[in-house]
């Protein structure tokens, strides 16, 4: 194992020691330039999709145990002696087994092929009573948990490249998704407003200021508001029927004296006191003075929805209940001590008062620090807890049913009844992941579209999907705020990668170095705060709370202490964090406006690592980087030694971060590890993105996901519904550090095409490209399309089943044309060509499948022994022939034979195929030109692509020009050049190489026309640019029809390419024809070529008859034959059917 | 009109060829005469190797030179694999891709030995020993029993794990046995990698190679590239001396500019210049030097794929052009006058 491990590390060594700018291990280390080595080290430890894996690992290792503890006992209403207690829960290994040996049903790739779910058993240890005895049962399987690939419960965890190959897995695949029923499903990261935090907002038009907090606990989710109404402050909550004056709430919560209320809310600030004073009047008017009166007041307003057999509460009890558990539900009340809650409400009120005074103190909803990201683990945990509760509930109901029966034959064993429902958890989890519908009863949450099918169009599209963040905002709303680029997302969320159109700005992507936190324990941090000298709030005097210079210490949004020395407190706390005494992901920052110190330890915060700077000197030194290069140190050593730390958005806002070492001043607290980490993985592919117009980078982010290339090392083993692969993909001549980090150079999607930027032939307008035919002949842009076709051989209840029939032969013993591709087993043979109309799976279904088994008598069966099956073959229908690539036969979950046939097409580029460079410059192939007609340079080099120069001025993609120059220099020099964001090879150096190799410094060459042979009068910008072939190909889209199928009801031509539909002459086209006056054309298009129908119209009654007979007038004399559209005839009949008689009045035309 | 193409810093001037009948470079004599052409035309061979030929054609019109270039690329016939019959292919590479790769392998066959195939003919009569060369590829990969145990190198572990062009075996048909007795058909470059195999995988196929032209498919082109460039001309208008001369020299590739004993730069060999126009960037040489290219001096470079010697390709292109001219002359429309 150790030997193989070394091998794995070697593959990373390559990353750690790239000979960048000719540097190797022995060269002197320059901290300013070499600190970027921390980035591969970071990715080595965390991987590319660390946020998903971390979150899932936290869920299976920690959260599951918490859920078990929270729901640990199942009791019976009938038998008070019975109990069942959950002791422990494990995923994938038994109590005695080694936790590292994960037990899964089948390896992931087999699950993909056989349409199964990649899951591991959930084992629990239970303790329960059987009669008088207490029994401990270990390793009880209660269901199966879908396993996230590459998580610590996955068989792929910690495997070397070799071992991965044996499992048919691609070592570059990032994991982080699930396989459910054979499809790969990703749970997208969900963006939400942070929970359990006060958000202050104001509506200037209505003059409302409100502070709200969404309380979220395991049990419920509720929102509490403190709002202003006519300058008075009220508390609002969904389960309280009307707004309650804030002073009453505070009184109910035990702050009885008006003075103390004033102290808690306003402190000694007379301005605030003036604003707030009005609230006391209202309370006095309502006659509420004591806590009891306040509680009763609230109790009367509470909307009570009691469960069936719960006892009825008195009004005061309702009031107490409301304060204790309904309002600000995330604070738990012990022994009816409401002080903590009162303080919380007071703080909310204070924030409202402050905002009333100074409207600038509102919070920004769109500020990334006020957002939390919900990941797979959290969502799974919500789902699992729901299912687990249901499981326990069902179990309990079952128990009660049995225990109710007075006499039982044998001793009751609860375990016999627990297994009955074990499928609920498994199917519940599977269904949620496969449909994406997250419905949780206890939160009344109904969320659709949580999961998506992992797009395997290209490696980048799969990777891009793993970093995607979807927002909860409605897409249709026309608001700019949530869609806008937030300054606070610098370094956390990619600034370029967002879709265009309706989801623009709502779907975001993580930047390269982003980490998302998981929950940390609160209690030790709380203790630490007290040790550090902060005064516990529960013993603090109300009058000192808001005195000048007193800072409140908030832990996860709740005031826990006060301190007079916030700076010292924060510095010490940070010191402890840097020394590893506190979790690295706990953030602390001061907010001067609110006089508060905030400590955050909750999950879902976005953070990123930065180098610590002290006294103007970065702590990462040459020596440390050398250790990193030598492999002595890993990224975590930098954390442990306090050289690097994670900052979340809020703490980042409290720091001064230098971009480069040269920018460091005395006040600087941190140094950026690498500047290009502002971009994400997908935007990182763009060379010189800092020279491009920003929307171009965004366009490329969308197009990079459509590029055809290599998908994974196991791409030929996969049987996907649709798979696009490129025959000869190349790594780009101009790469970036990000490309190396995400290993795009190992699974590239594109080719380095020699491009001439010039006008040629007129077939290149509107971004069309001119392609060189010889380049295409030699394999440029050649790609393959694989399509899966599935057949299932069903079994029917009457014991009949689908079968495969062999091929049919003609008189000569040759197979008939339709069966040419078949083998004797009735399946297409691998390597055979199938043309449109040919059969590749000769399936037959029983004719009597619906007949029941009981009815048939032996006589009947003897009568028709043959003809038991009827052909239902799978016929290939497509304009171009395919080849059979793979045929797989297996058995699916429910024991039915599963046949998958993979068909392959190899396509060379043709007119209309779409290509794009990496700068958002897409274009279709406009003409394919013979090589001898192409322009050539002194060396005889012809371009592969000619691009029209009009693509440049308005697009301003200077990065593309730089890519060309750098690429050309690289080709001449025999080296790969870099176009890393905010860095990369310098234009001056590139020009130098060009001149040294005898070319012009500008990258422009003198070209000869291939047609006339003369020199071109302009110098042509000529060199390699990385071009991607996009998935949109003419072959999949071409469509034309003269005659074809019609819809049954209207007899009009069908719609759509898939149904061989007609091309509609629509309303606007019709308008043109009318305006032009071509009435005969109109008649021909709209009726004769569509749904002309001869009807018999009765001239006397105006209704339609048939066979020359009017059934209304009972005569044939007045019948006139005429042609109308069938749709019109249908309309008349439909009108008649609802008692409206449309009568036709016929007159002479001339 | 001068026959020098002007090279300026932002454009190329005087590019149009004027050397055709009825128009002549020196305006006094507009008549195009064959004798004059014969007298002035020069062919200067610089070097000819097995694969490349480098020669100068001096004193002919661009259209003719370009015609040679175009014909060499697109119309000189050569032999390449066109039909691949795959009996078995269990390698990772797909049939179409393998066939495409085999098609691009240049073959050492004299195209004159073959006749054109009749594409309309019946499948049975299509291929004869006159027009088709048959190659076969039968290869099975196996484990190397003598492999060293700890080796991870596939070269050591497996046999036949790389399929090269040299594995294509010539199968002479009928009279081809004698015809190709001395020079059997082989790939020009034996070490072109076609596919990779692992133990248990095999490829078994048969290839029919036919005559074709580059215009149909690049694989039939006998040249990797055939192109020309115009002879660079460097005119030093005012003497450049001293330090400037050194700097001037630096603006050109080695050997183009030399400095005489007076310290004055002079053009030693302008043929070596790559016309990088670097000198035009320098303000100090403004007006002191004029760059240009001789419009009727073509430096041809013909790179053969190996099937034919490069000079042979050029001769064929001349012959094809001649045939075309003959054809044109015999066309009814040509006989009108």
DSSP helix/strand/coil, A217 = coil
- For residue A519, which of A219, A218, A178 has the smallest C-alpha distance? A218
Q: What is the structure's pLDDT at A28?
A: 55
Sign of CA dihedral A20, A24, A28, A31: positive
A1010: chain B residues, CB-CB within 8 Å: 66, 70
Mark yes or no for CB contact A1000/B12 under 8 Å.
no
A941: chain B residues, CB-CB within 8 Å: 225
Instruction: Flag whether residue B211 sits within 8 Å of chain A, measured between CB atoms.
Output: no
Mark yes or no for CB contact A774/B214 under 8 Å.
yes
| DSSP codes joined into one string, B198-235 | -TT-EEEEEEEEEEE-TTT-GGG-SEEEEEEEEEEEEE
Tokens (6 digits) for A639: 């954390």
Cα-trace Rg, chain A: 36
Find which of A1008, A1010, A1012, A1016 to mutate to test the B interface (most B CBs within 10 Å of its CB). Answer: A1008
Mark yes or no for CB contact B11/A1017 under 8 Å.
yes
Mark yes or no for CB contact B278/A1017 under 8 Å.
no
Q: What is the structure's pLDDT at A1076?
A: 95
Mark yes or no for CB contact A936/B65 under 8 Å.
no
Q: Would you mind telling me the total number of residues written for chain B in this entry?
A: 337
Task: State pLDDT tens for residues A485-512.
Answer: 999 999 999 999 999 988 888 899 999 8
Tokens (6 digits) for A229: 């109404």
Q: What is the structure's pLDDT at A707?
A: 94
**What is the mean pLDDT of the segment spanning A723-738?**
94
Measured between alpha carbons, how far is A330 from A557 in angstroms, rounded to an integer?
A: 11
Q: What is the structure's pLDDT at A399?
A: 81
Measured between alpha carbons, how far is A485 from A694 in angstroms, rounded to an integer?
A: 12
Parallel, antiparallel, or unpaired for β A833-834 and A1015-1029?
A: unpaired
Of B11, B94, B228, the CB nearest to A904: B94
Q: How far is CA A942 from CA A931, A937, A1063, B55, in A?
A: 7, 7, 41, 21
List CB contacts of B231: < 8 A, sequence separation 6 or more. B56, B270, B271, B293, B294, B297, B298, B299
- Per-residue pLDDT at A25 exceeds 50: no
Measured between alpha carbons, how far is A175 from A933 in angstroms, rounded to an integer?
A: 48
Decide: B220 and B109 in contact? Cβ < 8 Å: no
Digitized pLDDT (tens) for each residue of chain B, 337 residues in all: 578 899 998 999 988 876 666 565 555 666 677 888 888 899 999 999 999 999 999 988 899 999 999 999 999 999 999 999 999 999 999 999 999 999 999 999 999 999 999 888 888 888 988 899 999 999 999 999 988 888 888 889 999 999 999 999 999 998 899 889 888 999 999 999 999 999 999 999 999 999 999 999 999 999 999 999 999 999 999 999 989 999 999 999 999 999 998 889 999 999 999 999 999 999 989 989 999 999 889 999 999 999 899 999 999 999 999 999 999 888 877 565 5
Minimal-distance CA residue of chain B relative to A716: B92
Q: What is the structure's pLDDT at A220?
A: 77
Query: Please, where in chain B does CATH 3.30.1360.10 lie?
Result: 4-75+224-301
CA distance A938 to chain B (A): 5
Give residue A98's pLDDT band: very low, low, confident or very high (50, 70, 90).
Answer: confident
Own/partner long-range contacts of A29-33 (Cβ < 8 Å, ≥24 apart): A29/A622, A29/A625, A29/A626, A29/A629, A30/A622, A31/A618, A31/A620, A31/A621, A31/A622, A31/A625, A31/A661, A32/A660, A32/A661, A32/A662
- For residue A47, which of A176, A166, A168 has the smallest C-alpha distance? A176
Residues of A involved in catalysis: 767
Mark yes or no for CB contact A931/B301 under 8 Å.
no
**What is the mean pLDDT of the segment spanning A855-863?**
51
**What is the mean pLDDT of the segment spanning A873-887?**
92
CA distance A732 to chain B (A): 22
Q: How far is CA A1011 from CA A270, A760, A930, A1082, B12, in A?
A: 89, 11, 10, 47, 17
Find which of B4, B82, B100, B157 to mutate to test the A interface (most A CBs within 10 Å of its CB). Answer: B100
- For residue A705, which of A933, A507, A860, A573 has the smallest C-alpha distance? A507
A782: chain B residues, CB-CB within 8 Å: 97, 100
Residue A139 burial class via C-beta count within 10 angstroms: exposed 0-12, middle 13-18, buried 19 and up? middle
Measured between alpha carbons, how far is A169 from A943 in angstroms, rounded to an integer?
A: 38
CA distance B94 to chain A (A): 8
Q: Residue A555: in which H helix or E strand, if any?
A: strand A551-555
List CB contacts of B74: < 8 A, sequence separation 6 or more. A930, A931, A932, B213, B214, B215, B221
- Per-residue pLDDT at A305 exceeds 70: no
Superfamily of domain B78-220: DNA-directed RNA polymerase, insert domain (2.170.120.12)
CA distance A1004 to chain B (A): 9
Give residue A749's pLDDT band: very low, low, confident or very high (50, 70, 90).
Answer: very high
Decide: B203 and B138 in contact? Cβ < 8 Å: yes
Mark yes or no for CB contact A995/B86 under 8 Å.
no
Tokens (6 digits) for B80: 């390449």
Instruction: Classify residue B258 by its DSSP letter.
Output: E
Share of chain A above pLDDT 70, in %: 93
DSSP helix/strand/coil, A86 = strand
Reported as half-sphere exposure (CB side, CA atoms, 13 A), residue A347 has a value of 26
Minimal-distance CA residue of chain B relative to A992: B278
Of B13, B229, B253, the CB nearest to A998: B253
Own/partner long-range contacts of B251-255 (Cβ < 8 Å, ≥24 apart): B251/B276, B251/B278, B251/B279, B251/B282, B251/B285, B252/B276, B252/B278, B252/B279, B253/A998
Report the predicted TM-score, pTM, of the whole model to 2 decimal places: 0.90
Give residue A638's pLDDT band: very low, low, confident or very high (50, 70, 90).
Answer: confident
Of B62, B92, B94, the CB nearest to A906: B94
Of B16, B219, B276, the CB nearest to A1014: B16
- Per-residue pLDDT at A539 exceeds 90: no
Put simply, the chain B residues between 9 and 28 with a CB less than 8 A from any chain A CB are 10-13, 15-17
List CB contacts of A180: < 8 A, sequence separation 6 or more. A117, A118, A146, A430, A433, A434
Using CA atoms in the order A676, A679, A681, A682, what is the torsion angle rounded to 10 degrees?
-120
Q: What is the structure's pLDDT at A20?
A: 44
A1015: chain B residues, CB-CB within 8 Å: 5, 12, 15, 230, 293
Measured between alpha carbons, how far is A451 from B192 in angstroms, rounded to an integer?
A: 47
Mark yes or no for CB contact A716/B275 under 8 Å.
no
Tokens (6 digits) for A758: 């010039």
Mark yes or no for CB contact A906/B230 under 8 Å.
no
Decide: A726 and A709 in contact? Cβ < 8 Å: yes
Give residue A1136's pLDDT band: very low, low, confident or very high (50, 70, 90).
Answer: very high
CATH 3.20.20.30 holds for B4-75+224-301: no
**What is the mean pLDDT of the segment spanning A420-433?**
84
Q: What is the structure's pLDDT at B249?
A: 92
Query: Please, where in chain B does CATH 2.170.120.12 lie?
Result: 78-220
Measured between alpha carbons, how far is A165 from A1004 in angstroms, rounded to an integer?
A: 47
Q: List beta partners, residue A225.
A: A212, A236
Parallel, antiparallel, or unpaired for β A783-793 and A897-907?
A: antiparallel
Q: What's chain A's average pLDDT?
A: 87
B15: chain A residues, CB-CB within 8 Å: 1014-1017
Measured between alpha carbons, how far is B211 from B207 in angstroms, rounded to an integer?
A: 13
Task: State pLDDT tens for residues B222-250.
Answer: 999 999 999 999 999 999 998 999 999 99
Decide: A91 and A415 in contact? Cβ < 8 Å: no
Q: Quick one: residue B209, left, alpha or beta (phi over 0 = left, psi -120 to 50 = alpha)? A: beta
Find which of B105, B229, B291, B299 to mutate to test the A interface (most A CBs within 10 Å of its CB). Answer: B229
Nearest 5°: the CA angle A83, A86, A87 is: 125
Mark yes or no for CB contact A885/B94 under 8 Å.
yes
| DSSP codes joined into one string, A1034-1097 | HHHH----SS--B-TTT-SBP-SGGGTPPPP--HHHHHHHHHHT-HHHHHIIIIITTTEEEEEE
Task: State pLDDT tens for residues A177-205.
Answer: 999 999 999 999 998 888 888 999 888 78
Instruction: Flag whether residue B65 sits within 8 Å of chain A, measured between CB atoms.
Output: yes
Task: State pLDDT tens for residues A768-791.
Answer: 999 999 999 999 999 999 999 999
Cα-trace Rg, chain B: 27
**What is the mean pLDDT of the segment spanning A533-551?**
83
ipTM field: 0.94
Tokens (6 digits) for A75: 């009791």
Give the count of beta carbons closer than 10 Å to the beta carbon of residue A860.
Answer: 11
A906: chain B residues, CB-CB within 8 Å: 94, 96-97, 100
Find which of B154, B202, B271, B277 to mutate to test the A interface (most A CBs within 10 Å of its CB). Answer: B277
Annotate B3-33 with b (16+ C-beta within 10 A) or e (fewer). Answer: bbbbbeeeebebbebbbeeeebeeeeeeeee
Measured between alpha carbons, how far is A751 from A904 in angstroms, rounded to an integer?
A: 22
Q: What is the structure's pLDDT at A334?
A: 81
Find which of B52, B74, B204 to mutate to test the A interface (most A CBs within 10 Å of its CB). Answer: B74
Measured between alpha carbons, how far is A293 from A248 in angstroms, rounded to an integer?
A: 9
Instruction: Flag whether residue B70 sits within 8 Å of chain A, measured between CB atoms.
Output: yes
Minimal-distance CA residue of chain A relative to B295: A1014
Q: Lowest-confidence range among A215-229, A667-681, A1122-1136, B263-277?
A: A215-229
Measured between alpha carbons, how far is A951 from A919 in angstroms, rounded to an integer?
A: 11
Q: How far is CA A943 from CA A460, A935, A947, A964, in A?
A: 28, 7, 10, 13
Q: Among the ranges A6-10, A395-399, A1033-1037, which has the highest mean pLDDT value?
A: A1033-1037
Q: Lowest-confidence range among A84-98, A589-603, A928-942?
A: A84-98
CA distance B177 to chain A (A): 32
Of A777, A1017, A1018, the CB nearest to B217: A777
| Placement of tokens 């280390």 in the chain | A29
Decide: B180 and B39 in contact? Cβ < 8 Å: no
């Amino acid at each position: 194992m150790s030997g193989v491990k070394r091998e794995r590390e070697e593959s990373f060594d390559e990353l750690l020691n790239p000979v960048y700018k000719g540097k190797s291990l022995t060269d002197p280390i320059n901290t300013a330039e070499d600190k970027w080595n921390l980035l591969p080290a970071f990715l080595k430890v965390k991987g590319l999709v660390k946020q998903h894996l971390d979150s899932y690992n936290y869920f299976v290792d920690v959260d599951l145990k918490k859920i078990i503890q929270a729901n640990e006992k199942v009791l019976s209403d009938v038998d008070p002696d019975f109990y069942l207690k959950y002791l422990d829960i494990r995923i994938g290994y038994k109590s005695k087994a080694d936790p590292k040996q994960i037990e899964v049903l089948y390896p992931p790739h087999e699950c993909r092929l056989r349409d199964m779910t990649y899951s591991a058993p959930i084992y629990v240890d239970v303790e329960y009573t059987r009669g008088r005895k207490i029994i401990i049962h270990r390793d009880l399987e209660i269901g199966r948990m879908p396993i996230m690939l590459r998580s610590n419960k996955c068989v792929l965890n910690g495997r070397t490249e070799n071992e991965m190959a044996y499992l048919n897995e691609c070592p570059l695949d990032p994991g982080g998704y699930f396989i459910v029923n054979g499809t790969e499903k990703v749970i997208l990261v969900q963006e939400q407003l942070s929970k359990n935090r006060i958000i202050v907002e104001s509506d200037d038009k209505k003059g409302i200021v409100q502070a709200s907090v969404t309380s979220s606990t395991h049990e419920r989710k509720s929102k509490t508001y403190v709002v202003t109404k006519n300058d008075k402050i009220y508390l609002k909550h969904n389960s309280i029927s009307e707004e309650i004056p804030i002073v009453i709430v505070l009184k109910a919560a035990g702050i009885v004296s008006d003075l103390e209320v004033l102290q808690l809310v306003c402190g000694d600030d007379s301005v605030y006191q003036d604003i707030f004073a009005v609230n006391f009047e209202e309370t006095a008017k309502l006659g509420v003075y004591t806590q009891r009166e306040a509680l009763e007041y609230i109790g009367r307003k509470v909307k009570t929805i009691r469960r069936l057999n719960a006892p009825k509460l008195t009004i005061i009890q309702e009031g107490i209940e409301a304060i204790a558990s309904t309002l600000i539900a995330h604070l738990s009340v012990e022994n009816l001590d409401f002080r903590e809650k009162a303080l919380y409400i007071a703080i909310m009120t204070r924030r409202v008062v402050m905002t009333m005074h100074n409207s600038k103190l509102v919070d920004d909803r769109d500020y990334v620090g006020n957002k939390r990201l919900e990941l797979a683990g959290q969502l799974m945990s919500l789902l699992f807890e729901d299912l687990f509760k249901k499981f326990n509930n069902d179990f309990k109901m079952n128990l009660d049913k049995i225990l109710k029966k007075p006499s039982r034959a044998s001793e009751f064993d609860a375990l016999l009844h627990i297994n009955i429902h074990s499928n609920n958890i498994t199917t519940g989890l599977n269904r949620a992941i496969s449909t994406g519908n997250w419905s949780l009863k206890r939160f009344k949450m109904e969320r659709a579209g949580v999961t998506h099918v992992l797009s395997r169009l290209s490696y980048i599209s799969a990777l891009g999907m793993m970093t995607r963040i979807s927002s909860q905002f409605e897409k249709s709303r026309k608001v700019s705020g949530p869609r806008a680029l937030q300054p606070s997302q610098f370094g956390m969320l990619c600034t370029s990668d967002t879709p265009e159109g309706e989801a623009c700005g709502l779907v975001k992507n993580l930047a390269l170095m982003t980490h998302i936190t998981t929950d940390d324990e609160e209690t030790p941090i709380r203790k630490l705060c007290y040790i550090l000298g902060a005064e516990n709030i529960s013993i603090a005097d109300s009058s000192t709370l808001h005195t000048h210079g007193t800072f409140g210490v908030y832990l996860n949004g709740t005031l826990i202490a006060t301190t007079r020395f916030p700076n010292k407190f924060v510095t010490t706390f940070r010191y402890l964090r840097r020394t590893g005494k506190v979790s690295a992901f706990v953030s602390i920052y001061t907010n001067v406006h609110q006089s508060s110190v905030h400590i955050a330890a909750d999950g879902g915060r976005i953070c990123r690592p930065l180098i610590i700077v002290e006294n103007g000197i970065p702590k990462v030194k040459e020596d440390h980087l050398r250790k990193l290069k030598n492999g002595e140190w890993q990224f975590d050593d930098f954390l442990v030694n306090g050289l690097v730390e994670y900052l979340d958005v809020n703490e980042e806002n409290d720091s001064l971060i230098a971009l480069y070492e040269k920018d460091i001043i005395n006040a600087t607290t941190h140094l950026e590890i690498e500047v290009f980490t502002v971009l994400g993985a997908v935007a990182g592919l763009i060379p010189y993105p800092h020279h491009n117009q920003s929307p171009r980078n965004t366009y490329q982010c969308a197009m990079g996901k459509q590029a055809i290339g290599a998908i994974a090392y196991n791409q030929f083993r996969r049987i996907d519904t649709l798979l696009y692969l490129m025959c000869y993909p190349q790594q780009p001549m101009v790469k970036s550090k990000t490309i190396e980090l995400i290993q795009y150079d190992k699974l590239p999607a594109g080719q380095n095409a020699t491009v001439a930027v010039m006008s040629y032939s007129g077939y290149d307008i509107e971004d069309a490209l001119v392609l060189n035919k010889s380049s295409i002949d030699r394999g440029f842009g050649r790609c393959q399309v694989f399509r899966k076709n599935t057949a299932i051989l069903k079994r029917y209840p009457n014991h009949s089943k689908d079968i495969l029939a062999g091929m049919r032969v003609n008189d000569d013993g040759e197979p008939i044309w339709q069966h040419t591709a078949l083998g004797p087993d009735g399946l297409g043979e691998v390597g055979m060509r199938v043309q449109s109309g040919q059969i590749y799976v000769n399936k037959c279904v029983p004719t009597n499948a619906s007949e029941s088994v009981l009815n048939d008598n032996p006589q009947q069966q003897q009568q028709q022994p043959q003809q038991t099956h009827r052909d239902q073959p799978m016929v290939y229908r497509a304009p171009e022939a395919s080849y059979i690539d793979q045929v797989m036969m297996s058995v699916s979950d429910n024991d039915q034979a599963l046949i998958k046939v993979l068909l392959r097409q190899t396509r060379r580029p043709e007119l209309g195929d779409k290509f794009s460079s990496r700068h958002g410059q897409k274009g279709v192939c406009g003409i394919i030109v013979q090589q001898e007609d192409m322009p050539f340079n002194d060396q005889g080099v012809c371009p592969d692509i000619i691009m029209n120069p009009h693509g440049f001025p308005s697009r301003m993609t200077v990065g593309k020009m730089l890519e060309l120059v750098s690429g050309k220099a690289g080709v001449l020099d025999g080296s790969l050049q870099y176009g890393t964001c905010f860095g990369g090879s310098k234009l001056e150096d590139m020009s130098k190489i060009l001149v040294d190799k005898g070319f012009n410094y500008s990258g422009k060459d003198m070209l000869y026309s291939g047609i006339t042979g003369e020199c071109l009068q302009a110098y042509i910008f000529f060199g390699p640019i990385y071009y991607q072939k996009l998935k949109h190909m003419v072959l999949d889209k071409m469509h034309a029809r003269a005659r074809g199928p019609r819809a049954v009801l209207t007899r009009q031509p069908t719609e759509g390419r898939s149904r061989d539909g007609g091309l509609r002459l629509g309303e606007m086209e019709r308008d043109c024809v009318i305006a032009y006056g071509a009435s005969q054309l109109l008649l021909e298009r709209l009726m004769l070529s569509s749904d002309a129908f001869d009807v018999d119209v009765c001239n006397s009654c105006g209704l339609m008859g048939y066979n020359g007979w009017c059934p209304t007038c009972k005569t044939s004399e007045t019948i006139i034959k005429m042609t109308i559209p069938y749709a019109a005839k249908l309309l008349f009949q439909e009108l008649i059917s609802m008692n409206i008689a449309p009568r036709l009045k016929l007159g002479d035309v001339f | 009109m001068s026959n020098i193409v002007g090279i300026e810093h932002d454009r190329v001037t005087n590019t149009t060829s004027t050397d055709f009948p009825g128009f002549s470079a020196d305006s006094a004599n507009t008549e195009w005469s064959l004798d004059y052409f014969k007298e002035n035309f020069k062919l200067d061979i610089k070097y000819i190797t097995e694969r490349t030929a480098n020669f100068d054609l001096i004193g002919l019109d661009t259209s003719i030179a370009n015609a040679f270039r175009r014909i060499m690329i697109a119309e000189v016939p050569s032999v390449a694999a066109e039909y691949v019959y795959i009996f078995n292919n269990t390698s990772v590479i797909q049939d179409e891709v393998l066939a495409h790769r085999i098609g691009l392998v240049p073959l050492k066959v004299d195209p004159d030995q073959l006749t054109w195939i009749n594409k309309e003919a019946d499948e049975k009569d299509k291929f004869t020993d006159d027009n088709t060369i048959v190659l076969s590829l039968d290869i099975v990969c196996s484990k190397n029993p003598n492999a060293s145990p700890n080796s991870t190198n596939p070269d050591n572990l497996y046999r036949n794990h790389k399929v090269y062009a040299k594995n294509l075996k010539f199968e002479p048909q009928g009279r081809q046995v004698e015809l190709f007795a001395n020079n059997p058909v082989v790939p020009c470059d034996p070490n072109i990698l076609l596919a990779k195999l692992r133990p248990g995988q095999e490829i078994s196929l048969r290839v029919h190679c036919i005559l074709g032209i580059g215009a149909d498919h690049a694989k039939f082109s006998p040249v990797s590239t055939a192109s020309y460039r115009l002879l660079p001309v460097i005119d030093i208008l005012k003497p450049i001396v001293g330090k400037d001369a050194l700097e001037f020299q630096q603006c050109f590739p080695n050997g183009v500019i030399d400095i005489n004993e007076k310290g004055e730069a002079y053009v030693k060999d302008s043929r070596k210049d790559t016309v990088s126009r670097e000198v035009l960037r320098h303000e100090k040489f403004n007006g002191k030097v004029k760059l240009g290219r001789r419009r009727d001096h073509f430096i041809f470079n013909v790179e053969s794929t190996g099937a034919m010697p490069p000079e042979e390709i050029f001769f064929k292109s001349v012959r094809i052009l001649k045939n075309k001219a003959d054809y044109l002359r015999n066309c009814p429309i040509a006989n009108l006058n």
